[in-house]
């Protein structure tokens, strides 16, 4: 079963799974930094959507149809008219170059099959000087912590196609972004990273 099919399958219970993760409380602060024309990649079940300013124009994409159905319910229940949802693969987005002022990613690049390809696509569709806001978990700089992450990754890859040991910060830089801020939330495994596209 490929990653897309796995997420289609777990869409009904995904919200309950996410609520067990402590870093969900950081979503609101992160989303408050988004402005202008915003792209959210891997919008999932729409956990971030209530936090966007009504003055922003938001496009949320996901490759899972079932996850998007959950997001649509969030939009309807909150009467949001500034958010559009599209079924789309982050690795091959159909937007033109330099379209968005800002991009948002929360717990996405642990799962994208080719994370650097996905990050390069985000870079492409951002306007020069545009920023991208990440809330991601990744491999630690501490080898002892990584022992546990590698063990967890065995099961997470089977059920969700998710890796616990990706070098996401390095991948962000490899895609061309300049990191302007980093905040470690849970040791250095869960991080907020703010990055920019060159002018």
Model pLDDT for residues 119-178, shown as the tens digit of each residue: 999 999 999 999 999 999 999 999 999 999 989 989 888 877 788 999 999 999 999 999
Res 61: pLDDT: 98
Residue 7 confidence (pLDDT) above 80: no
DSSP 78: T
Taking alpha carbons only, the member of 142, 146, 50, 43 closest to residue 87 is: 43
Res 20: pLDDT: 47
117 vs 1: which has the higher pLDDT: 117
The mean per-residue pLDDT over the stretch 24-49 comes to 93
Domain boundaries, the chain: 3-196
The mean per-residue pLDDT over the stretch 181-186 comes to 94
Task: For the chain, give the mean pLDDT.
Answer: 90
Burial of 128 (0-12, 13-18, 19+ CB in 10 A): exposed
Task: For domain 3-196, give the CATH number.
Answer: 3.40.50.150
pTM to 2 decimal places: 0.90
Number of H helices, E strands in the chain: 6, 7
Q: Return the SS3 of 97.
A: coil
Q: What percent of the chain has pLDDT over 90?
A: 77
174 vs 12: which has the higher pLDDT: 174
């Amino acid at each position: 079963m490929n990653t897309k099919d796995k997420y289609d399958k777990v869409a009904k219970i995904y919200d309950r799974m996410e609520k067990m993760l402590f870093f969900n409380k950081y979503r609101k602060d992160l989303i408050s930094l988004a402005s202008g024309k915003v792209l959210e990649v891997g919008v999932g079940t729409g956990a971030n959507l209530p936090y966007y300013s009504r003055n922003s124009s938001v496009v949320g994409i996901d490759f899972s149809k079932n996850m998007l159905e959950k997001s649509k319910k969030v939009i309807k229940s909150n009467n949001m008219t500034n958010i559009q949802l599209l079924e789309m693969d982050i690795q091959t987005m159909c937007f033109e170059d330099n379209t968005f002022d800002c991009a948002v990613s929360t717990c996405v690049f642990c799962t994208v099959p080719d994370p650097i390809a996905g990050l390069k696509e985000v870079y492409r569709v951002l306007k020069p000087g545009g920023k991208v806001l990440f809330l991601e978990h990744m491999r630690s700089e501490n080898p002892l912590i990584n022992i546990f992450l590698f063990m967890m990754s065995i099961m997470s890859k089977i059920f969700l196609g998710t890796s616990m040991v990706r070098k996401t910060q390095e991948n962000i830089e490899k895609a061309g972004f300049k990191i302007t801020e980093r905040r470690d939330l849970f040791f250095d495994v869960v991080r907020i990273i703010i990055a920019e596209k060159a002018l």
